[in-house]
Structure 1
Amino acid sequence: MEFVIRIGVSVVTKIGECSVSSLGHQLGYLYYYKSNIEKLETQAQDLKNAKERVKHLVENAKRKGEEIENHVQQWFSTVDVISEEVESFLKDKVHANTGCCSNGSSLNLVSRYRLGRKAKKMTQKVVEIKDSACSGNISYVPVLQSSFPNKGFMAFDTRNSTMMGIMNALVDVNVGTIGVYGMAGVGKTTLVKEVARRALEEKLYDDVALIVVSHTPDLVRIQQEIADKLGLVFHEISISARADRLRHRLRNEEKFLVILDDIWKELDLVDIGITFEDDQNGCKILMTSRFKDVLGNRMTVQKNFPVELLSENEAWDWFRKIVGDPLKNSDIQLLATQIVEECGCLPIAIVTVGHALKTESLSSWNDALRQLQRSNPTSIEGMNEKVYSRIKLSYDFLGSEEAKSLLLLCCLHKEDANIGIEDLLRFVVGWGLFQDVYKTDEARDRLQIIVEKLKARFLLLDGDYYETVKLHDIIRDVCISIASVDRHMYNIRSNDDLKERLNKKKLKDSTAISLLCENVDYLPERLECAKLHIFWMWKIRHLQIPDQFFEGTKELRILDLSYSYLRILPSSFCFLQNLQALCLRYCWLRDLTSIAELKNLEVLDLSRSSIEELPRQIGQLTHLRLLDLTSCSRLKVIEPNILSSLIHLEELYMKKSFSKWEAASLSELKNLVHLTTLHLEIANSNILPKDLFHDKLERFKLLIGNLSGWSDCGTSRMLKLINFTKNSLLEEHGLQRLLKRSKELYLDGLKGVENIVHELD
């Protein structure tokens, strides 16, 4: 009894410590002891269930690639702690029912009070933790920094200066836009990926967005890809509204690089929303294109850098690295050197061919070389989709049919040929290629524009000599394929090839034939090509062209038989009434009487031929616009009234040719009122007719006086006066006007001539 009284006193003492207002609350710990324990157990289970739900949300977020918020992990830790506390507490709850009497009949009211109070407070804490599980997002979509693994990049010497220039431009505060240009497959994308990798590695930028633009730019996609990199979500639908949002977001960036790869035409960056403010010096736009003019002229990029072809040594080193051990076989190595040469130092071709052949047999290597040499390597794995398709896309994107036709005309030349611009002019005039062009000078201007366009797009390259162009081997191969399939224009490489095509009647629908193989030993009696416009056959030296050969080519417009031995022109020339251009350069000629049949001829090139007398029949070619007699060193006779009959002649070339001029024959040139180009040499200045040279001459190369040879710097207006003795003759013959317009002027041995140099300004 005394012990029970002590317990009661203790409880009363604890209760007495509480204020009257909380007395009922404190008594509740005793009265609701069991209920508090049960609530704690229930809430603890609910917390466990909540933890499982959050765990499932976390796992789902991770599967989506999302990052988990830090507070979620902290919440899990808090749950674990409280769960351990609850579990420990519930294990000890039995003590609340344990009495202090030896028979256990008396309850420990103090323990019940304490445990009831602790269960109540612990329950409140568990509820708070459980409820906090749903507050806020548990995960977020991270904005990942770009990664540019660039295994395909090799630090070639031909790339180092370009790479260095670009990296310097990236840190130049005065440069906001940078361009990289080069032909298809030369490695522009690989280069800018390496630039991006280095820029991030050196912490020049916080991030880089690389977007492929392509020949059909999708502005919505471009905007979205940049937005994704910035973590920007568009709520707008229209491109212009999205552009405003993107511009606004980009203002927050301090070090951000945008790379727009493979631009084909002018792209208005403002319309897309890709702009940086003047004070955002750490932000740049880097662009690549296969068209130099797109970056330089249309998009006014501040700094442009070319990507050149590899050197021959670099090409071989790379190919060797790709192929590896098979090159230890001496037979394969011999083939490999020729294959690399056929790839023309173009990286994409080297990579494609190297990977295609590295596990193949010797037979496959032989077959691949033959295909490359015959300009038809589409059977080599990857060549069609990785190489040819890229270049054909550049061709297709030209748009202009004139540009396409000119490029296909170039591919009819021999491999690695230096193609003269003036030679092309004669072909395009004869072909009638240009619309709304009626004069040779007009055609020359149009030709120059298109050539520059093709060069800017790397479909043509600068030649090895002045005013020449070349085709890269792979570009030429693609063009040959296009020409044959789309235009029925054929390159015939051998006698066997010619015989096979003729036997199988593969040339029946041809529009152009280029037969530039050495030593042609067979020609059919009659060439049946009713649609043929261009026929090009060189070096016919041991074979006479059959008389009936041209009877089936009545639509022929261009005929080139240069470098040939032609004793007599075939009688079937009379069927070539539509022929516009005839080229007989470097020909051994005996009889040109049949030329009179070519009534519609506009271009006649007899340069460097063996003619000794200008055929009288040429005077009947009244539609002739261009006559080239350059370096006809055997030419001694030009009968009267031949030149004066050429009333539509616009260009006359007689440099290093006929020199036995007389006053009467020179006077015939005055009748050529349409003449705009004149190359001429006259030994005796005293026979010059009055007003021989008029203001219409736009292009001239004149040597008057001592014919000591030409020193031609390639200018369009050259005048050389040697031992000229009368000042008055300058004005009388029109030379005074030409002096002032000359770009290249030689004056030597002048006597009785006043100082004229000060008048040239």
Structure 2
Amino acid sequence: MGDCVSLDLSCDQALNQTCNCLFGDRNYIHMMKANLDALETAMQELREKRDDIARKVSIEEDKGLEQLAQVKGWRSRVESIDSQVSDLLKSRETETKRLCLFRYFSKNCISSCKYGKDVSKKLIEVKELLSKGIFEELAEKKLAAKVEKEDIQKTIATINNKFEDEFEVVIWVVVSKDLQYKGIQDQILRRLCADKDWEKKTEKEKKKLIGNNLGRKKFVLLLDDLWSEVDLNKIGVPRPTQENGSKIVFTTRSKEVCSDMEADDKLQIDCLPANEAWELFRSIVGEDTLKLHQDIPRLAKQICEKCYGLPLALNVIGKAMSCKENVHEWHYAFDVLSTSSHEFPDMEEKILSVLKFSYDGLKEEKVKSCFLYCSLFPEDYEITKEELIEYWIGEGFIKGKRDEDGSNNKGHVIIGSLVRAHLLMECEEHFKPAVKMHDVLREMALWIGSISGKEEEKQCVKSGVKLSRIPDDIN
């Protein structure tokens, strides 16, 4: 008797579930086709919204902004459900063919009921993602973008913000010292083309593609960090004219490159003034760190002064000090920067080695020797050009006698080369033409001189340590 009752209950439960599947509120079989149509429509709408947001995010990222985490998460969930829906729709034809009796029944009720339930579930998920795909903001400023913007407004974020309304497309290309035309073409095409078909093309085909694309647009092209002339025709970039309204902007450390590129307008970027340098340094270090000890703000200002307004130094040294919580670490950092700055963390790798590119760009060894010689003068020392040339002749860097016009002219040519490379700055000493060296560049020159001096047994310089005897590390 007990077994009979148990069997009756099991049959009732099975019957109830079957009836609910066929006739209840969740009639997965009867509603299957309608839900499939609705799912296909909703999924297409979701894909279009995803693509629209992706394009907007790309524009924001070009401005130096960073995609919000909630936007990134939403896009990831859309990609996941897109794949799931695609797999589900592959069985559409098979499952709908099983339906019969006005789609109230199926030739395989269990399979159709399960499939219909999955379709209904995915439809709800897609609609939920559609409703959540409305964002007031897609991206936000990130620290790197802020630092770069302060860094003499020389980044893609600044360029986009200034020109996005005036130009159809803004392109930023990092050229660097090792000039490769293929690399420049690739960076331009990544900005211009949504697909990656161009990757299979030859350099000549890429040139034609760039020309056809930019020829129809009003564009601005920023070539960052030029060390030599770039042949725009070889890349495929059409020349800007008053008619097309396009512009080409480039940054370089060499005035000679400006001449080679036939620049119409030249703007020299100077180091930051003291107040702006401090604001940048303070923002990188962080207010929380500055508040850890009453002496840290004073030490921070002293360390900031050791950067001499150079954004590269402010950025690197500021990041290094942002995690220093002990006031003794700040005292030590100031002492190192005051005596042996090349020993400061990241100084050699991220500051001196970067500045050394300008030194490496000097074509003649005697010009390099003349530059290194200038580091032997005290900080901020202004030396007249005539006096400096006499020293160079005396050291044998320039052949000839002091009163010979040829030797004197050669000296002025070398000074001109160093000024155009921004390794020396022109000034006046008692109304006479003079030059001086930026303090950070002087540190770089002393660093180079010390390294090469040890290797070649020529010279070894220790700056600002008030030597009273020969150092132990000099044999």
Q: Provide the TM-score with structure 2 as the length reference.
A: 0.65
How far apart in 2 are the matches of 1:355 and 1:196? 25
User: What's 2:333 paired with?
Assistant: 368
Asked if the contact 2:342/2:447 (under 8 Å) is kept, the reply is: no
Q: When the two structures are aligned, how many residues end up with a matched partner? A: 358
Asked if the contact 2:147/2:280 (under 8 Å) is kept, the reply is: no
Kindly indicate whether residue 57 of structure 2 is the aligned counterpart of residue 91 of structure 1: no
User: What's 2:256 paired with?
Assistant: 293
Distance 1:337 1:228, change over 3 A: closer
Asked if the contact 1:483/1:490 (under 8 Å) is kept, the reply is: yes
User: What's 2:460 paired with?
Assistant: 490
2:256 maps to a residue whose letter is D
For residue 301 of structure 2, the aligned residue among 328, 332, 337 is 337
How far apart in 2 are the matches of 1:476 and 1:235? 47
For residue 443 of structure 1, the aligned residue among 395, 400, 407 is 407
How far apart in 2 are the matches of 1:388 and 1:494? 18
What's the secondary structure of 1:308's corresponding residue?
coil
Asked if the contact 1:262/1:287 (under 8 Å) is kept, the reply is: yes
User: What's 1:267 paired with?
Assistant: 230
What's the secondary structure of 1:499's corresponding residue?
coil
For residue 154 of structure 2, the aligned residue among 172, 191, 210 is 191
How far apart in 2 are the matches of 1:349 and 1:230? 34
How far apart in 1 are the matches of 2:288 and 2:271? 26
What's the secondary structure of 1:468's corresponding residue?
strand
Kindly indicate whether residue 230 of structure 2 is the aligned counterpart of residue 230 of structure 1: no
Asked if the contact 1:429/1:440 (under 8 Å) is kept, the reply is: no
How far apart in 2 are the matches of 1:230 and 1:407? 43
For residue 290 of structure 2, the aligned residue among 305, 322, 327 is 327
User: What's 1:480 paired with?
Assistant: 446
User: What's 2:469 paired with?
Assistant: 499
1:431-451: CA deviation from partner (whole Å, max 9, x where unpaired) = 221358896322221221221
2:158 maps to a residue whose letter is V
Q: Which has the larger radius of gyration?
A: 1
Distance 1:463 1:338, change over 3 A: farther
How far apart in 1 are the matches of 2:392 and 2:290? 46
Q: Give ranges in structure 1 of 5+ residues lacking alignment.
A: 1-43, 96-146, 160-185, 509-761
1:306 maps to a residue whose letter is Q
How far apart in 2 are the matches of 1:355 and 1:235? 41
2:246 maps to a residue whose letter is C
User: What's 2:63 paired with?
Assistant: none
Kindly indicate whether residue 215 of structure 2 is the aligned counterpart of residue 205 of structure 1: no
Distance 1:148 1:305, change over 3 A: farther
1:223 maps to a residue whose letter is Q
How far apart in 1 are the matches of 2:140 and 2:349? 24
**Which structure shows the bigger proportion of residues in strand conformation?**
1
How far apart in 1 are the matches of 2:356 and 2:171? 28
Asked if the contact 1:153/1:191 (under 8 Å) is kept, the reply is: no
What's the secondary structure of 1:491's corresponding residue?
coil
Distance 1:300 1:433, change over 3 A: same
Asked if the contact 1:208/1:256 (under 8 Å) is kept, the reply is: yes
1:247-293: CA deviation from partner (whole Å, max 9, x where unpaired) = 233212x2222211110111111122222464652322111111122
1:213 maps to a residue whose letter is V
**Which structure shows the bigger proportion of residues in helix conformation?**
2
Mapping for residues 406-417 of structure 1, pairs under 5 Å: 406-417=370-381
1:528-573: CA deviation from partner (whole Å, max 9, x where unpaired) = xxxxxxxxxxxxxxxxxxxxxxxxxxxxxxxxxxxxxxxxxxxxxx
How far apart in 2 are the matches of 1:284 and 1:197? 13
How far apart in 1 are the matches of 2:280 and 2:434? 30
1:561-607: CA deviation from partner (whole Å, max 9, x where unpaired) = xxxxxxxxxxxxxxxxxxxxxxxxxxxxxxxxxxxxxxxxxxxxxxx
Q: Give ranges in structure 2 of 5+ residues lacking alignment.
A: 1-32, 56-74, 106-138
How far apart in 1 are the matches of 2:104 and 2:308? 91
Distance 1:434 1:149, change over 3 A: farther
User: What's 2:369 paired with?
Assistant: 405
Mapping for residues 734-749 of structure 1, pairs under 5 Å: none
User: What's 1:352 paired with?
Assistant: 316
2:434 maps to a residue whose letter is T
RMSD of the alignment, in Å?
A: 4.1
Asked if the contact 2:450/2:459 (under 8 Å) is kept, the reply is: yes
1:227 maps to a residue whose letter is L
Distance 1:412 1:255, change over 3 A: same
1:398 maps to a residue whose letter is L
How far apart in 2 are the matches of 1:436 and 1:408? 20
Deviation at 1:399, TM superposition (A): 2.2
1:705-753: CA deviation from partner (whole Å, max 9, x where unpaired) = xxxxxxxxxxxxxxxxxxxxxxxxxxxxxxxxxxxxxxxxxxxxxxxxx
What's the secondary structure of 1:209's corresponding residue?
strand
What's the secondary structure of 2:341's corresponding residue?
coil
Identity %: 26
1:489 maps to a residue whose letter is Q
How far apart in 2 are the matches of 1:302 and 1:93? 75
Asked if the contact 1:150/1:193 (under 8 Å) is kept, the reply is: no
How far apart in 2 are the matches of 1:414 and 1:279? 50
Q: Provide the TM-score with structure 1 as the length reference.
A: 0.42
Deviation at 1:351, TM superposition (A): 1.6
User: What's 1:428 paired with?
Assistant: 392
Deviation at 1:459, TM superposition (A): 1.0
What's the secondary structure of 2:248's corresponding residue?
strand
How far apart in 2 are the matches of 1:94 and 1:431? 103
How far apart in 1 are the matches of 2:382 and 2:397? 21
1:263 maps to a residue whose letter is L
Asked if the contact 2:384/2:428 (under 8 Å) is kept, the reply is: no
How far apart in 1 are the matches of 2:464 and 2:353? 27
Deviation at 1:495, TM superposition (A): 8.3
Asked if the contact 1:251/1:277 (under 8 Å) is kept, the reply is: no
Deviation at 1:83, TM superposition (A): 6.8
Asked if the contact 2:320/2:345 (under 8 Å) is kept, the reply is: yes
1:352-373: CA deviation from partner (whole Å, max 9, x where unpaired) = 1122112212222122212211
How far apart in 1 are the matches of 2:230 and 2:347? 30
1:604-648: CA deviation from partner (whole Å, max 9, x where unpaired) = xxxxxxxxxxxxxxxxxxxxxxxxxxxxxxxxxxxxxxxxxxxxx
How far apart in 1 are the matches of 2:140 and 2:410? 44
Asked if the contact 2:312/2:351 (under 8 Å) is kept, the reply is: yes
2:327 maps to a residue whose letter is L
Asked if the contact 1:461/1:470 (under 8 Å) is kept, the reply is: yes
How far apart in 2 are the matches of 1:153 and 1:86? 54
User: What's 1:526 paired with?
Assistant: none
Deviation at 1:344, TM superposition (A): 0.6
Distance 1:347 1:235, change over 3 A: closer
Deviation at 1:322, TM superposition (A): 2.3
Distance 1:400 1:149, change over 3 A: farther
Distance 1:195 1:500, change over 3 A: same
User: What's 2:131 paired with?
Assistant: none
User: What's 1:314 paired with?
Assistant: 276
- Structure with larger RCO (C-alpha < 8 A, sep 6+): 2
